[in-house]
Amino acid sequence: MKCLYVCLLALLFSSLPGCSTAARRPLPADTFVALPVAANLDRLLKNADRDHDHKITIRDEVKSFEAISEAGGTLLVQGTYGVSVLLQELILAKDRHESSLPFRVALLEENPLARTSRLIEEIYWDDLTRKLDAAGLNRTLPDSKIKTASGLAYLYVPEKDVFGWRYYQNLKRENPAIQFELVRLPRRVSPAFFASLKDRHGLLALKVAKGEGGEPQPVPYVVPGGRFNEMYGWDSYFILRGLLQDGKLNLAEAMVDNQAYQIEHYGKILNANRSYYLSRTQPPFFTSMLRAVYEAKAPSPTRSEWLLKNLALAIREYREVWAARPRLVSKFNLSRYFDEGEGPGPEVEEGAYDAYLSPFAKEKGITPAAYLKLYEAGKIQDPRVRLLFKHDRTVRETGHDTTYRFDLRAADFLTVDLNSLLYKYETDIADLLDSEGAGSMKLNGRNETGAEWRRRAALRKNRMQALLWDEAAGNFYDFDLKNNARSGFDSATALYALWAGVATPDQARRVAARAREALLSKGGLAASSEKSRGPLHAPERPQRQWDYPYGWPPHQILAWEGLARYGMRQEAEDIATAWLLAIGKNARDFNGMVTEKYDVEKASHEAFAEYGNVGSQFSYITKEGFGWTNASIQLGRAFLPAEKLRAVEAETAAIPGK
């Protein structure tokens, strides 16, 4: 029986047989101690939360805390991590309306990274799951990013979704306490209609399925967390991977079904399901999601039917969104990101445009905020600013909002990441056609063949090799349409070419070497190199969140999987190890914190540029983590060999006495 030693905790119970009041003895790990919740919670926060931030972190410099047991004895918990675990467990008990907590002392010895992984599977995914039903609308309708003119929330339902429209009509009638406006979207959302939504943006409906008896059943989905309380485009791929890793196949399938609904009814997979995102998509991962779920499902006629229906929608999205103007640049037959909307994004936080607008505001002798207000009112018209907002909207479609990688000209670049993802679309479609249709089948009224899609992929690969590969630098770079040259900006997105299989073996080795030299830091891969980002100086050139020294979960996952694909397992494991060490140590030292991004130079969660760091603001316990970071933990732990994972856990373990 494993015991916890005095350096971690000790129990002094005069009421227990054989227990001396003069000595503290090792306690078996499987022991449960009954702790009164309210009394201990009140004392813990008063005595241990010294900076009053509703967390127990290393900044509190707490050495120990004596919890009072129901039996009248005390449980001595030592160290920041141990006290933070006790706080979290007391809060969970309080939320369950329990007056007494049967506290399992083994939790104090649980490794911080392992504990985080367990909580992701047991709590975080559930707390991030949403459903547009009567019980869920109060949680999904509010939007912290905008306000409507009327103060009411809006729910928009596509005109073609008759079943969904009837469901929400009935829901609104039967639940008068849920205050919202129900609006039917026109079949085609024209630029004029989109502009008319300015003061009444709202939530966009997702799929309502029919149950076995024909009853409506809104399909669940998982959100990233915090202010991102919607189903996001590319976040959903990484979330889905995490769900599959944790055995949540049905929920992963629901994510695919909701994105398929978006293609069918909104014409594209949206940045997220809010009306202000109707003009914008995000990095395309739908075939990767479709394939991951398909391969996880047991073979059956139902699986085949599900695949073919969604494969047809994937092909439609490919042809109508990515292989068509304005995103297709026909001169090069490669694609770019391009938001079809105009003007500032309604969801963008106040002050976010100040650095961009500062030069134009100075020309008028006013502040950036005043300039923006006049521009939105139509009292200032400047084609330079109009173009700036077009590029700003487009950088948000890239998912990398914001970065100096595009120099305020995001629509001017044929990017490595987008074209790698589209190459993956083409090869995925070919593979799935071969798997289910013997290489050929009729979809969307056309005969689709695996051979044709492989030809498309080969052509894209050749164009990428010619245009995006820099032989001298040994790296893939975005192509700048305005300057007719490769950008030379070192970005983690170069590794997408490995993940998708675009690179040759020699190119893969050179990209890996470049990434190790320019991007790899203490806590993982930075989004860009420090040299490419350039010097910072406020207010004209502030830190951007998708640049050095910040690192993001999608880049880590795609990098380690891409490197492994080309046999560079050691290099891949180095990235996963650095990333998990950073997350584990931050979770240990900061009350279980899991955030959307990290400062990889310092291996710290203190990465607050632009929008703060979602996941860092919570009270007592995080119940969400952050969607794609949760996934990176689960996938990273599964990716590392057992001995390396043990080494990571040893290095992130609680430090006795601290």
What is the pLDDT at residue 326? 98
Structure pTM?
A: 0.95
Give yes or no for residue 17 having a pLDDT over 50.
no
For residue range 464-492, what is the model confidence (pLDDT) as tens digits?
999 999 999 999 999 999 999 999 999 99
Task: Specify if 85 maps to a domain.
Answer: yes
For residue range 41-65, what is the model confidence (pLDDT) as tens digits?
999 999 999 999 999 999 999 999 9
Give yes or no for residue 291 having a pLDDT over 50.
yes
Q: Which of 218, 246, 270 is the last residue of a domain?
A: 218
List CB contacts of 522: < 8 A, sequence separation 6 or more: 578, 582, 600, 601, 602, 603
Residues 74 and 173 in one domain: no
For residue range 571-600, what is the model confidence (pLDDT) as tens digits?
999 999 999 999 999 999 999 999 999 999
For residue range 393-449, what is the model confidence (pLDDT) as tens digits?
999 999 999 999 998 999 999 999 999 999 999 999 999 999 987 778 888 889 999
What is the pLDDT at residue 540? 83
| Mean pLDDT value of segment 108-125 | 98
Residues 94 and 172 in one domain: no
What is the pLDDT at residue 656? 73
Task: Specify if 157 maps to a domain.
Answer: yes
The tally of CA atoms less than 13 A away on the side-chain side of residue 476 is 31
Residues 105 and 7 in one domain: yes
For residue range 164-221, what is the model confidence (pLDDT) as tens digits?
999 999 999 999 999 999 999 999 999 999 999 999 999 999 999 999 999 999 999 9
Q: Which residues pair with 103 in a beta bridge?
A: 33
What is the pLDDT at residue 510? 99
Residues 15 and 75 in one domain: yes
What is the pLDDT at residue 9? 41
Task: Specify if 558 maps to a domain.
Answer: no
Residues 105 and 62 in one domain: yes
Residues 101 and 151 in one domain: no
Residues 106 and 148 in one domain: no
Query: Distance (Å, rounded) from C-alpha 436 to C-alpha 271?
Result: 30
Task: Specify if 283 maps to a domain.
Answer: no
What is the pLDDT at residue 259? 99
Residues 143 and 73 in one domain: no
Residues 104 and 149 in one domain: no
Task: Specify if 71 maps to a domain.
Answer: yes
Residues 106 and 12 in one domain: yes
Report whether 185 contacts 156 (CB < 8 A).
yes
Closest C-alpha among 456, 546, 462, 467 to residue 504: 462
Residues 137 and 103 in one domain: no
Q: Which of 170, 194, 218 is the last residue of a domain?
A: 218
What is the pLDDT at residue 235? 99
Neighbours of 334 (CB within 10 A): 22
Catalytic residues: 401, 596
Q: What is the torsional sign of CA 628, 419, 349, 59?
A: positive
Give yes or no for residue 24 having a pLDDT over 60.
no
Task: Specify if 521 maps to a domain.
Answer: no
Range of the domain at 20: 3-110
Task: Specify if 194 maps to a domain.
Answer: yes
Residues 16 and 82 in one domain: yes
What is the pLDDT at residue 439? 79
Q: Which of 169, 196, 218 is the last residue of a domain?
A: 218
Give yes or no for residue 22 having a pLDDT over 80.
no
Give yes or no for residue 16 having a pLDDT over 70.
no
What is the pLDDT at residue 8? 38
Give yes or no for residue 554 having a pLDDT over 50.
yes
Task: Specify if 311 maps to a domain.
Answer: no
Q: In what order do the strands lie in the sheet with 479-480?
A: 413-414, 479-480, 485-486
Number of domains in the chain: 2
For residue range 497-516, what is the model confidence (pLDDT) as tens digits?
999 999 999 999 999 999 99
What is the pLDDT at residue 29? 66
What is the pLDDT at residue 655? 81
Which three-class secondary structure state does DSSP give residue 521? strand
